[in-house]
Structure formats: structure tokens, C-alpha cells
A and B are shown apart, each in its own frame.
Chain A
Amino acid sequence: MQRPALSLRLVAREIVAVATVLATAAVTAQSHLVVPPLAATAEANGVEFWAAGPFSARRQVVLDASWLQAAVGRGFTAIAVRRNQGTADDQVAGRLLLDIDLAHASTAPPNASGSFAANRGPNATNVFAGLVAFPAAPAAPTTPAPWQAPYAVTIPFTTPFAYRGGPLVVETVTRPLSGPSGQNPWWPIDAVIGASTGSVRSVGWGCLAAGTEPAAGAELGSVSLGATAVFWLRGQMQAGPATCLLGGDNRSYQGLPLPLDLTVIGMPGCVLYNDIATAVPSLLTPWPLRPDTLATVEVPVPQDAALAGASLFAQWLVPNIGGRAIRLETSNGVEAVIGALPANPGAAWIEGIGPYAIRGRVLHDRCPVLRLDYWP
């Protein structure tokens, strides 16, 4: 039984070798395009990890059809990333496990969903699955960095993707390796990042017995049309339930003027800052190595131009359980002004923590610089 198995392995090895030669020949005859197009000849303004990040994540980038016109009717055969040149830091070598799926998108970037499955249209194909080595790379002598090692990493697809046109989904699942051989790469890649269009401010004060103020806030870059706004609460509170009170008005609550002193309902020192259009349950979970706990809620902001400039208000309600008594406490308030969708976002960025996320946060302000190789 051993000998035939060995022979099979040798035959397989030869097939792989032949395939590699063919692939190399194909590579020499390939064309390529760069997204976003403005990064084809210039360094982009930002930096991101994207799939080269040292932590587990599932991501999608939905690319605009206009960026991909040159490849309509062709087949994508490889994808490449290049190092960021904005700073001269050395890239740190490492390896990680990467899955890459390509699919025709079911929607254009401005309407992308937080659901990974919903964005994937027909012909979803796993084009790569395996180990990717990122090399040590000093700053390149030219800017932008050339599309060659060690300044760029090219990932040839094991299965080409036939592209028919329309927006494209590039989905990646990154898994860092564990153990002593699993040095994670620190490989910031070139990326386009737009300016924030929304704004966030803290309002008033809270009555939380524990934690520093302000304990509540919102993630600035997430507050825009079509994105997933993230509101958070953090402090030295007990792990357990917390409720995010979301409102659309900060002037009155059921006819009572805001801010509203809650002393009269047994919450001395607590103040209500919004009209509580809805209450979203969440959970304060412990952070490692610190007494802090963290709760977040994610609020998808509709892609409706009429909402640009509108304010979304948030405040947290937290039960403080001590002995037999439960005291309700409130955080500071948060006002998030919804920003407009960038004029031409060109891409949607969806990121979920961990390899098995089924939903992720949607952002429209960023896109990794990618080179896509295709059959000529």
C-alpha cells in the first residue's frame, strides 16, 4: 500500500509542478487593473490591514463596476497588495491563513449590506485557500511601492474567476496562526480613506456609580449614510445587561422637556437626554486584564439622503445590582450627526470579527489598494 501511495504523491507533485509552470506562463501574459483607479500611479492617502491583519476577521470589499470595466468578459487570476509608503516603517514578516472568495455582487457599493451573504450574488467562487507568507519589507525606494516582492504580495488564484461585469465582491477570511511558528505579520497596506462626514459629541453627564466619564460614545467614522453606526459604553461596571436608549430628538420626551431630571422617579443625579425612540438591549462583557466592561450596539443607517445632517441620540441605562437592591443608572448622552455618503465611495467595506461572522460593520469611507490580474 505504501508504494502506490508514494507514486501517487509523486505524480501529484509533477502535476502541481506542471500547473505552476503553466500558471507562471499565464502570469506573464496577464493584464491587471488597480482599484481604486487613482492609486494605479500614486500612493493612496491612508493605510489599512485589510486581509493582512494579525487578527481573525471576515471582510468584504464591494467594488464599483466602473473600476473593473477592463476585465469584463475576462477571468481574474490573482490579487496583490502593496505596502504602505506613508511611513518608512519596516513591514514585519509573518504568515497567516487566508480564504478568498470572489462573487458578482448583488448590489452596488452604496447599498451594500452588513450581511455577507446578502452582498454575494451569483457565481461565488473560492479562488484561494491556504497559507500566505508576508515578507519583511523595508520602505520601497520609490513611491508608491512597486508591485514586486518584498514590497508587494501577490496571491495567485487556484481557481480563476470568470468576470461578467457589474460590482464585484472580494471576500476574505483571515486566520492568524498560533504557536511559536505563527508569528503574525504586521503588514500595513496602502489604502484610500476618506474624511469623516459625520460628527460625534458627548452630552451632559451620567450617574454611573462606577467608571470614568464620559463612559458612552460613538465611533466617528461609522456615522454616515449606508454605514453601521456603533455606539459604545465602557467603564468599570458589572458585567451584565445594559440598554442603549436611542432617540431622534433631544428637546422633549413624551411632552416633558429634555434634559429631564430623573430624581423624581428614584434615580437621583440621573438625567435623560433623548426621547427614547427605541431601546436596544446589549451586554456589558469583561475586557481582558482590566476591570472594565464594554457594551456596543450597531445601528444600520439607511442609505437615505434625507437623513444626512440628522442627529441620532444615544444614552445607556445600566442596572447596578448591589445586595438586594437594583439601582438604575444612566450614562452621559451622545449626539451623532449623520454624515453624507461620500460623493463616489466606489467601494463598501464590511468587517466582522472572527472567521465565522455572518454580519459585519459597513463603512463607505475606505478601500484597500488592490491589483487584480486577469486574462488578457
Chain B
Amino acid sequence: MTIARRSPDEGSRFRIQPDPPVAGKAAEVTYLGPAREVEWQVDDGTSVQAQPDANGKFQIDPVPSGRSLMLSDNLGLPGYLQSRIQETFR
């Protein structure tokens, strides 16, 4: 299991599975932090609000196509994660 990180010595409040997320497929995000609402955004697209459940989880289904997926709780660096999106090829 790979945990996406921003840098070698700093973790994140977010984890995403699968990691990296795959375009066109569902991804499960786990968020452990103080925010009630978080947001995600693909590249420069529209920011989407999400409310993690009691176990910090929510789904992105499907993950849109793009270069990268950004997750944020807007509460500083530990509440920020960027993952490169894996494209599916037919």
C-alpha cells in the first residue's frame, strides 16, 4: 500500500485508494482531520465539496480524466494532497 505524500518527512491527512487514482473508476478517499467539509479538484476544473462520513471516507466516482487530483481541507499543508491521475487506455 502506498501512501501519497507531499514530501519525505511530512504526511497528509488524506489517503486515496487506489493510489494513484484511475480516471473513469471510483476512488475512495479517507480524510482524518478537523474539517467537516473538504474539497477535491481535477486540474483547473470546478472544485467539488465533499463531506467525509464518520470514518472519514467519501467516494469520487468516477475520477474525472486529467493530470492530477487535488484534495484539500483548506487548513494548511497537512490538509493538502495532490495525486497524479492514471489514465486508462483501451
Contact = CB atoms under 8 A, between A and B. Distances in A.
8 contacts: A53-B78, A177-B9, A182-B9, A212-B41, A219-B35, A221-B36, A287-B77, A294-B76
B9 A222 contact: no
A353 B9 CA distance: 14
Interface residues of A, number: 49
B13 A49 contact: yes
Given A55-B10, A55-B11, A184 B32 contact: no
Interface of A: 45-49, 53-57, 84, 86-87, 89-90, 92, 176-179, 182, 184, 186, 188, 193, 196, 200, 212, 217, 219-222, 230, 232, 234, 236, 287-290, 294, 296, 349, 351, 353, 361, 363, 366
A296 B34 contact: no
Contact of A182 (B8, B36, B80, B82): B8
Given A55-B13, A230-B74, A294-B74, 15 more contacts: A48-B32, A53-B32, A54-B3, A54-B5, A55-B11, A89-B30, A184-B5, A212-B46, A219-B34, A219-B37, A232-B75, A234-B72, A288-B82, A290-B70, A363-B34
Question: For this complex, into which size category does the number of interface residues on chain B fall?
Answer: 35 or more
A89 B16 CA distance: 12
Nearest to A56: B10
Contacts of A222: 34
Contacts of B41: 212
A46 B34 CA distance: 11
